[in-house]
Chains A and B, each alone.
Chain A
């Protein structure tokens, strides 16, 4: 038993899934519970959270900042749109980091808003001499809480604002568990029951600082007078109220975090079947030490609470008075979010711009018939335009409402699409039927792509096809749904590739005859050809009307596509054999209406176009090849968000994605200018450090994501590259960036898309000497700030730098003498706080490389890459894990005899990197993923 537990019994908390925690809590409870009693006849209303409290369910909730946390089982106080302040003891179990703020209360009843991916938390306030006064923790939500139902209640900025005595109320979500007789179950309190479903507040009582018992440890908490509390039971906290709020009744000022009792019990009260603790403690949030602590996290660079940046024309394009960073519809004028709850599905996207209301996991849902919807909405475009809906642009509310509705009718995710489209995925592999047209030679004779880690040419011209029904179609019950596939040859189309633009070129090409006519799917003799397929053991003849019946359960199944039967379309060369075209997936038959629409309408629009290109000779996980004009070693090349390969003099991006190469045209002047400057070396481009998967999860439809920033090397300008949607081309816009640093040599740059901040550390400056000054540029305020490193610290040439979202720290590589070392600096709000820590040094074998890179994995793994090697080993890749205590361990390590072309990315499977493929395609880029289990010859790193 810890000292804490001995000193006092906690208000019970629920540690999900923690048997040890339960047993520990039970032991604590039994040891100190001296008054359990049962068989009481009357309980009345004194059974809910905040014992005998009042449900806060009025139309205008009194305490909307107090939120429920199901994991851990506590309450909390929303202090900014992103931050929740709760009790530190809610995270008392080692390693516990879970947070799920899943319900808020508001007008008209309960509104559930799930936040299951807190980006930060908990951040604990640790006390040196006790715990009551420091029983505070902060967690940062994965998305902004909706206003006004979770209207933040910031803590006071000034010490002792709440005074030494205040009338106040406790507010929390303590459990409302009942036994079969309708009485509260005592034991649950001690074990830590889940919080109840209702926010309740107690009666106003007097709370005093340093009241009982007086002394140092109690100078920083508010306690209620025992006598008063035991006389007025209503308003006492129970299990699950921990972390809740103490508000001053006069003005609603948030003053304290519900902590627990102090061991002073009013036991065996006649009407309660359990021991109540009347001497309650709340940690004072206006305590001087506490203010110093939470200020680091809650206050922005301007000293304002995060989330209170005033709207300006620059940061509020839709003109609704809410800065985009905190706007649940940054591009749609919806000031109603301040007065009504307009996010019923709790996905952080306001109803005004939510294309799929009622479904929260938008980022996980594909939009299969995007191109069809794009054509319907914007017939002349091949990419979705960024549309800003301002009320001032419309003559009436009705016209504006109509514009909103039209906007929402476009680009619906598949899960709520009135015209849900099936899909077919191409997968490598498949068997080779013999004696059929197009059967190919032994692929083992073809050369492998030139990379280490194994060589394999396993893909034949029989490509597995997985027809996938649409989830809504399946949900509606369509056991006889039939899916058809057609294919059109685009190999003669200039610059054809798997993208909306590429397919548009093919559709409109006067020779390809791939025009798309969804109602005429069954037509013969256009450019669209039926696939020769095998379903089960039977190969079909190439014919019109090849279809599959989707299994009744909608489960994926495999068919096989013999593209070799399209002999006239097959391209053959030394290293590959394949076809290039468009795959058209179509609902051929449907029996049951979906979303109330008749099957005929669904058949008309339930079409999807996708990549119909397939090749025979590829390496493992190999993708399409692409020839390029010129390589530029650009800092954003890699396998992350940008994955851009610049072609000098060519207005195209080739963007590598896990699904292949995408091509985007850069017609946006500022963006062209940005990348031209990057290519010329006059501007630095810094991609977001956070892994793409993390950013993708963060991004919801309608929200813009800043994916990179650019800095002019004289520090005179900062540009940001943001996109509307994850797949869209990031477009550059310029910010006022005067007053920034000049870049000479060796400066480390890292950009955090989550923090909206660019960090600059180190560098040799004009004097060639290390510097003890750092810089950051905050996108919210569009201003540079400099700061001094901790005393005695300076940083010289930085070889690579990145921002690790897990611990909000900067990691960078530099050298001490000739020793390569990995260092960490906590880039918290207080920029001059925290020393720079050396985490590891590396053997000398890591020195013989020209370039280094750091890559962050989705789970916080750290990839350290050395490349442009001069010896036999051209590339060295290491994946390292970091413990919560920041101990670094080698997970995987490998060396390549091949040069990689750009900084790689860390994926769950390993590294993804680009290499120059084998001849004859000297300028061919092949993407490959390292196989797992490739640990070889791991050197010992010098962990510190």
Chain B
């Protein structure tokens, strides 16, 4: 393993002087009738976004001022737009197919072809709506990593060159800014990760002291979790302390849920058939078992700043019925004060889930989402919209009192909770 250098917060400045190194002036057209993106006040409000329109490909109109990101891995041609509003269309939502009440999905108002041209989004609730980070693949153009404001306007856009060995990392949002990274196969070191503060000019980033190849990343307000390629290790970078914490050896775990200075995950070793709830906390300075329910197993664990929720079950061949429990937020076993919320339908280990505003949403299987109101245990079993395109559930990205955001293999959706119907009481189970 490569030795990590702790708390190296290198601040790099990238100004326009570097532009000539890697700029191209291509841009994606903005839509003349794009709708407010992140705002959740209506389903399809129409507004006018940036007026500059460019053509696709190498069009030069409406210069987005693409600027070479010199913090990124050399040879990948990572650039950021100094005028992001000209680099990507504003976010639009459209009604879901099948006339599903309260359901919307991100409109592919960019050049696209195919069915799965975007990755799992990062969603963060704000006072005005939702900020969204989205990785998008564009037909005939370089991939984009786009951060939309809670107004749906692009406020940061990255793109990479045509080297297919390169990857822009997954979107990750913080109240203070966003995370970004680039990786390149078969170079050493292969990776660079950075945090772009909202308060700093674009390109003036804080470098993350971690350069190993990471097949998965998840970032939050204070932490960035990085999983090595092939899942052979987990690392958590703490932006507050500048330290990188390595998980114990043979730490096989789900992608964590992040909340403040804590991370929550299911750990599958030493017994792969007996997942346990673990947590990293800045307070304890490391990784530790969170829920002690031996010989039982934990099928899911998620948290936000207020609530810690998990599903306990007895060992057995999956899927098995479980019990949803809740505690006021805690990141150590000593702090957990469990109460029972409701019984859960049979499940296997679940990674995709989110907690917010007293609601818990998690993947039931590849085609349903369970939403639970923690206060009274009411449960909704929400099917995917009838798209007839074979799409299946990838991820549950965010839930709050208004929406649940999720991603299928083809689209990013949001579903209003008040349109879900009556649901099932705490003592009822869906069929």
Residues of A in contact with B (beta carbons under 8 Å apart): 371-372, 375-376, 379-383, 437-438, 489, 491-492, 494-495, 501, 504-505, 507-513, 515-527, 529-530, 542-545, 565-570, 600, 603-604, 665, 667
Q: Does the CB pair B394–A524 fall under 8 Å?
A: no
Q: Which residue of B229, B350, B351, B396 contacts A504 across the interface (Cβ within 8 Å)?
A: B229
Residue of A491, A523, A530 contacting most chain B CB atoms (<10 Å): A523
Chain A positions within 8 Å of B410 at CB level: 568
How far apart sit A527 and B167, CA to CA, in the bound complex (Å)? 17
Q: How far does the alpha carbon of A382 sit from the alpha carbon of B190 in the complex, in Å? A: 11
Question: Do B272 and A489 touch across chains, with their CB atoms under 8 A apart?
Answer: no
Nearest A residue to B113, CB-CB:
A492
B366, A524: Cβ atoms under 8 Å? yes
B232, A376: Cβ atoms under 8 Å? yes
A-B residue pairs, 7 tightest by C-beta: A519-B252, A567-B390, A568-B390, A375-B230, A517-B231, A511-B119, A519-B268
B294 interface residue, CB < 8 Å from A?
A: no
The interface bits of chain B over 99-112 (1 if a CB of A lies within 8 angstroms of the residue's CB, else 0) are: 00000000000000
Q: B391 on the interface (CB 8 Å rule)?
A: yes
Whether the pair A567, B389 counts as a contact (CB closer than 8 A) is yes
Contact B252 A515 (CB under 8 A): no
* Cβ-based interface call for B302 (8 A): no
Q: Please state if B231 and A570 are interface contacts (CB–CB under 8 Å).
A: no
Q: Is B348 on the interface with A (CB-CB < 8 A)?
A: yes
Contacts of A521 in B (CB 8 A): 272
A839 to chain B, nearest CB (A): 48
* Beta-carbon contact of B394 and A510 below 8 Å: no
Do A518 and B230 have beta carbons less than 8 Å apart?
A: yes
Output the nearest chain A residue to B145 by Cβ-Cβ distance. Answer: A510
A-B contact count (CB 8 A): 187
**Is A568 a contact partner of B228 (Cβ separation < 8 A)?**
no
Report the minimal beta-carbon distance from A394 to chain B, rounded to whole angstroms: 19
B353 to A, closest residue via Cβ? A525
Known A-B contacts A371-B230, A379-B232, A510-B168; the reply to A524 vs B390 at CB < 8 A is no
Given A372-B230, A508-B213, A518 and B135 touching (CB < 8 A)? Answer: no
Asked if A522 and B349 make an inter-chain contact with CB atoms under 8 angstroms apart, the answer reads: yes
Residues in B neighbouring A566, C-beta threshold 8 A: 390
Q: How many of chain B's residues have a CB under 8 angstroms from any CB in A?
A: 68
User: Given the complex, which residues of B lie within 8 Å of A530, measured CB to CB?
Assistant: 366
Q: Which residues of B contact A529 (CB under 8 A)?
A: 366, 392
**Could you tell me the distance in whole angstroms from the C-beta of A549 to the nearest C-beta in chain B?**
13
The reply to whether B115 and A524 contact each other, CB–CB distance below 8 Å, is no
Considering the chains assembled together, what is the distance between the CA atoms of A510 and B215 in angstroms?
Answer: 8
Q: How far is the CB of A731 from chain B (nearest CB, A)?
A: 14
* Closest chain A residue to B142, Cβ basis: A494
> Is B321 positioned at the interface, with any CB of A under 8 Å from its CB?
no
Inter-subunit contact B164/A505 (CB<8 Å): yes
Residue in A381, A382, A568 whose CB lies within 8 Å of B409: A568
Interface contacts beyond A515-B231, A568-B410: sample of 15 additional A-B pairs, CB < 8 Å, sorted by A: A489-B116, A492-B116, A501-B185, A508-B185, A508-B213, A513-B395, A518-B230, A518-B252, A519-B269, A520-B266, A523-B254, A523-B350, A524-B366, A529-B392, A542-B392
* B189: Cβ under 8 A from any A Cβ: yes
Residues 368 to 411 of chain B near chain A (Cβ within 8 Å)? 388-396, 409-410
Closest to B388 in A: A567
Which B residues are CB-close (under 8 A) to A568? Answer: 115-116, 389-392, 409-410
In the bound complex, residues from chain B placing their C-beta under 8 Å from that of A522 are 318, 348-349
Q: How far is the CA of A225 from the CA of B145 in the complex (A)?
A: 94
Q: Which residues of chain B come closer than 8 Å to A504, judged between CB atoms?
A: 185, 229
In the bound assembly, the distance between CA atoms of A397 and B143 in angstroms comes to 50
Using known A-B contacts A504-B185, A508-B185, A519-B269, determine if residue A525 contacts B215 with beta carbons closer than 8 Å: no
| A524 adjacent to B350 (CB under 8 Å) | yes
A266 to chain B, nearest CB (A): 74
Q: Contact between A508 and B254 (Cβ–Cβ < 8 Å)?
A: no
* Complex Cα spacing A600 to B270, Å: 7
B interface, CB within 8 angstroms of A: 1, 114-120, 135, 137, 143, 145, 164-165, 167-171, 183, 185-186, 188-190, 212-216, 227-233, 250, 252-254, 266, 268-272, 318, 347-352, 363, 365-366, 388-396, 409-410
Note all chain B residues with C-beta closer than 8 A to A544.
318, 348, 365-366
Query: Cα distance A510–B117 when bound, in Å?
Result: 10
Cβ contact within 8 Å between A379 and B212:
yes
Describe A's contact surface by its main secondary structure: loop
Cβ contact within 8 Å between A379 and B213: yes
Among B137, B186, B270, B349, which residue has its beta carbon within 8 angstroms of that of A383? B186
Residue of chain A at shortest CB distance from B215: A515
- Complex Cα gap A523–B227 (Å): 16
Q: Which residues of B contact A513 (CB under 8 A)?
A: 119-120, 394-395
Contact B366 A525 (CB under 8 A): yes
Smallest CB-CB separation from B228: which chain A residue?
A379
Q: List 17 A-B contacts (CB under 8 A).
A: A379-B213, A489-B116, A501-B185, A511-B118, A518-B252, A519-B252, A519-B253, A520-B231, A522-B348, A524-B347, A543-B365, A543-B366, A544-B318, A544-B366, A545-B348, A600-B271, A665-B186
- Measured CB to CB, the closest approach of chain A to B263, in angstroms, equals 16
The smallest beta-carbon distance between B93 and chain A, in angstroms, is: 20
Of A489, A507, A526, the residue contacting B351 (CB under 8 A) is A526
- Provide the residues of chain B in CB contact with A508, threshold 8 Å: 167, 183, 185, 213-215, 229
**Which residue of chain B has the shortest Cβ distance to A566 in the bound complex?**
B390
User: Which residues does chain A contribute within 8 Å of B185, judged by CB atoms?
Assistant: 382, 501, 504-505, 508
Nearest chain B CB to A819 CB, angstrom units: 51
Point out the residues of chain B lying under 8 angstroms from A375, CB to CB: 228-230, 232
Residues of the A chain whose Cβ atoms lie less than 8 Å from the Cβ of B229:
375, 379-380, 504, 507-508, 516
Return B104 CB to nearest CB of chain A, in Å: 19
Contact A604 B352 (CB under 8 A): no
Q: How far apart sit A492 and B112, CA to CA, in the bound complex (Å)?
A: 11
Q: Is the CB of B272 within 8 A of A604?
A: yes
Cβ-defined contact, A604 with B269, below 8 A: yes
Contact A381 B186 (CB under 8 A): yes
With both beta carbons as reference points, the residue of chain B lying nearest to A516 in the complex is identified as: B230
CB atoms of A507 and B186 under 8 A apart:
no
Alpha-carbon separation in the docked complex, A875 to B143 (Å): 44
Residues on A with C-beta less than 8 A from B169 are 510
**Are A492 and B350 interface neighbours, CB within 8 A?**
no
Q: Within the assembled complex, what's the spacing in Å between the Cα atoms of A510 and B135?
A: 7
Q: Is there an interface contact between B254 and A516, defined as CB atoms closer than 8 Å?
A: no
A492 vs B250: C-alpha distance in the bound complex, in angstroms? Answer: 31
CA distance A545 to B273 in the complex (A): 13
**Option from A491, A495, A519, A567 in Cβ contact (under 8 Å) with B114:** A491
* A187 CB to nearest chain B CB (Å): 64
Chain A residues with CB under 8 Å of B268's CB are 519-520
What is the minimal beta-carbon distance from A667 to any residue of chain B, in angstroms?
A: 7
Do residues B365 and A524 form an inter-chain contact, with CB atoms below 8 A?
yes
B227: chain A residues within 8 A (beta carbon): 515, 517
Determine the distance from Cα of A511 to Cα of B164 in the docked complex, in whole angstroms.
14
Complex CA gap A485/B283 in Å reads 40
Chain B residues with CB below 8 A from A492, complex form: 114, 116-117, 137
How long is the Cα–Cα vector from A568 to B114 in the complex, in angstroms? 9
Would you give the shortest CB distance from A461 to chain B, in whole angstroms? Answer: 12
* CB neighbours of A516 from chain B (8 A): 215, 229-231
CB-CB under 8 A from B228, the residues of chain A are: 375, 379
Given known A-B contacts A519-B269, A524-B363, A511 and B186 have beta carbons under 8 A apart: no
Q: Given A489-B116, A510-B167, are A525 and B350 also a contact pair (CB < 8 Å)? A: yes
Report whether A565 and B216 are in contact in the complex, using a CB–CB cutoff of 8 Å: no
Q: How far is the CB of B143 from chain A (nearest CB, A)?
A: 8
Q: A523-B350, A604-B252 are in contact. Are A565 and B232 (CB under 8 A)?
A: no
Which residue of chain B has its CB nearest to the CB of A518?
Answer: B231
A379-B229, A492-B137, A511-B135 known; A525+B116 contact, CB < 8 A: no
Q: A residues within 8 A CB of B135?
A: 510-511
Q: Known interface pairs A505-B185, A513-B395. Does A600 touch B232 (Cβ–Cβ under 8 Å)?
A: no
CA distance A523 to B255 in the complex (A): 11
Contacts of B215 in A (CB 8 A): 507-508, 515-516
Using known A-B contacts A567-B390, A568-B390, determine if residue A489 contacts B409 with beta carbons closer than 8 Å: yes
